Amino acid sequence: MPIHAMQAAVLGLTSTHIDLIKAAVLGIVEGLTEFLPVSSTGHLLLMEHLLGWGDDSFGKSFTVLIQLGAILALLTIYFGRIWAIATNMFTRWAATRFVIGVLLAFLPAAVIGALAYGVIKTYLFDVRVVCISLILGGFVLLWVDRVNLKSRYHDATGFPLPVYFGIGLFQCLSMIPGVSRAGATIVGAMLFGADRKAAAEFSFWLAMPTMVGAFAFEAFKNRHDLAHGNLAAIAVGFVFSFIFGWIVVKTFLHYVQRHSFALFAWWRILLGTAGIFALYFL
C-alpha cells in the first residue's frame, strides 16, 4: 500500500476526502506559481511525483483543468483594460497594434506546441528535466538581475512589433517543464529592452491567449478522461486556483517594481536541488 494511502487509512479519510485535499493543494500551488517566474508545471509535476499523486486517474484528468481558475482570475482583473482595447481595436491604431503584437507573441508557441505536443509530453515531462530546468532558470534570473540592461520600453502596450515576436520565441522555451512561461517571457522582454515592470505586465497579457489555448488543446486531447472526472474535486481546485492566482496578479507588479528576482531565483535553485536529492538519495 502506498504511503499516502496508509496515512489516509490511519486518519480515517476516504478516497473522496483525499481527492479533495489533492485538489485544494494543487489548486493553491497552481494559483501561487502560474504568474511567477518559478514554473507552475514544474511545481505540479514535482509535487505529484514526490507525493505519489500522479499515478491515478484523478491526477491525469485534474491537472488538465487546474489552470482554469488562474486564467479567470487574470481575466477578471484585466477585464476593464481588455474591454477598452476590444472596443477601440478597429478605430485606434494603438489598440490594433497591441492586439497584433500579442498575436505575434502567441504565434510561435501555438505552432510549435501543436506540432511537438507528443514529443514534449513523452520526453520532457520528467521530474529530472524539471529539476535541472528549475536550477538553470534560477541562475538565469540571478544573471538578469546583475547585468546592466538598458531599458528603452516602459509600457507593455508600446513595444515594437518585432519585439513582441521575439518575446514569443522566448516563451517557447517554457514548453520545457521547469523553465516557466512567466520567467521566459519576462527575461526575453528585458533582454529586448523592456523595464522590469513592463516585462512582467506583458507576461500577464501574453498569458491570456497562451493559457486559454493550452487549456483548450489539453482539454480536447484528454476529453475522454475528463468525462469521468470528479466534479467536486475540480470545483475545489478551481476555487483555490482562482483565489491564489488573483492574489499573485494583484501583488506581483508592485513587488517587481521594488525588488529583484533574487527571491524567485533562489527558490528555484533550492527546490530543484532538493528535488534531485530526493530522487537519487531518498
Q: Do residues 124 and 130 touch, judged by C-beta distance below 8 A?
A: no
pTM: 0.89
Q: Which residue in this structure is represented by grid cell 515576436?
A: 165
Q: Return the pLDDT at 61.
A: 56
pLDDT single digits (tens) 236-246? 888 999 999 99
Evaluated on CA atoms 88, 90, 91, 96, the torsion sign reads positive
pLDDT single digits (tens) 34-60? 999 999 989 988 888 776 666 554 555
Q: Return the pLDDT at 9.
A: 47
Structural domain boundaries in the chain: 3-281
Q: Return the pLDDT at 261.
A: 95
Q: Do residues 198 and 154 touch, judged by C-beta distance below 8 A?
A: yes
- pLDDT < 70 stretches in the chain: 1-16, 51-64, 225-230
Q: Return the pLDDT at 229.
A: 54
Q: Which residue in this structure is represented by grid cell 512567466?
A: 182
Q: Return the pLDDT at 50.
A: 72
